[in-house]
Structure 1
């Protein structure tokens, strides 16, 4: 059992001007349940109005269900999914962008605090114009990607050699 799942204990020297309010573990679990299908999102390098971000995320992610999008601080947003399929597609779907700016996404975490969040990695789509046809295959693409970082996914058209 995690420390955070235990009932909060009120310290004996609690300051009456700023009291500590205890919550039971069952309450915390119940309140957190809806956040299990949520993502924390940030646009890298640009600030867009909330409505622009909300409309774009609705367009790209809400295929089977609906999204509830809320603005957090420090440029982060939380996106709650009603469809597990939509959630999984957003997580595994590849590099997401708004205009030419990449989105960082990560699953919601307990006691989420955007002030402490660090963006360490993001998935990007690498395009290699002019790559000769004989090099358009999974093995070559994965080798090229290994020089950038690591290959997460090769699109189907590249795997099949349908497009250059």
Structure 2
């Protein structure tokens, strides 16, 4: 097999067009490319041009013209098409669909009846970190204007069993059996 050696400058140049791109995969069902792109456009409502490229093995690359659209989608969500979850991650160099494995998802987690004294950003991040990486705390939660539940957006590692998170939360609050 022939090898091509690319300079750092050349690699940087060919990667620039993909710097505002996301890798997307639908979980739970095979969805057609045209249907998916139609639904994504309707859901995300991009302000600027958005290109969709099928990569194979049910992966799609979404390239944004606008950094605002890119950030809105990456930081928003979780995104659902129909009743199926979209796994989204930033594009990365050397992404190969045959070796790809999306190992995390972003979800909103609700903590019902959490005592109001726990509605502190630091404490909520500590609680959420038991489950995964806390990406965002709901505005109503941080402003303490709704006390029925706290809501956090958390990135969950799919390789870890959910029971492990549940047991760690019980231990955190001293609710062990």
Same fold (TM over 0.5): yes
Describe the SS at the equivalent of 2:56: coil
* Alignment match, 2:23: 40
User: 1-side partners of 2:60 and 2:79: how far apart?
Assistant: 14
Q: Distance in 1 between matches of 2:118 and 2:82?
A: 27
**Aligned residue runs from structure 1 range 1-164, under 5 A:** 20=2, 22=4, 25=7, 29-128=12-111, 130-131=112-113, 134=116, 137-139=119-121, 141-163=124-146, 164=148
Ranges in structure 2 where 5+ consecutive residues have no aligned partner: 149-177
- For normalisation by structure 1, the TM-score amounts to 0.71
Judge conservation of contact 1:44–1:103 (CA < 8 Å) in 2.
yes
Measure, in 1, the Cα distance between the counterparts of 2:145 and 2:19: 38
Deviation at 1:95, TM superposition (A): 2.2
* Deviations 1:50-109, CA, capped at 9 Å, x for gaps: 223212221333432121112221111000101111112222224222233322222212
TM-score after normalising by structure 2: 0.66
CA RMSD of aligned residues (A): 2.8
SS of 2:52's equivalent in the other structure is strand
Hey, what's the Cα distance between the residues in 2 that align with 1:103 and 1:135?
A: 34
Give me the whole-angstrom Cα distance separating, in 2, the residues matched to 1:159 and 1:36. 32
Q: Secondary structure in 2 aligned to 1:125?
A: strand
Higher strand share: 2
- CA–CA separation in structure 1 for the residues paired with 2:118 and 2:31: 36
Structure 1, unpaired ranges of 5+: 1-13, 15-19
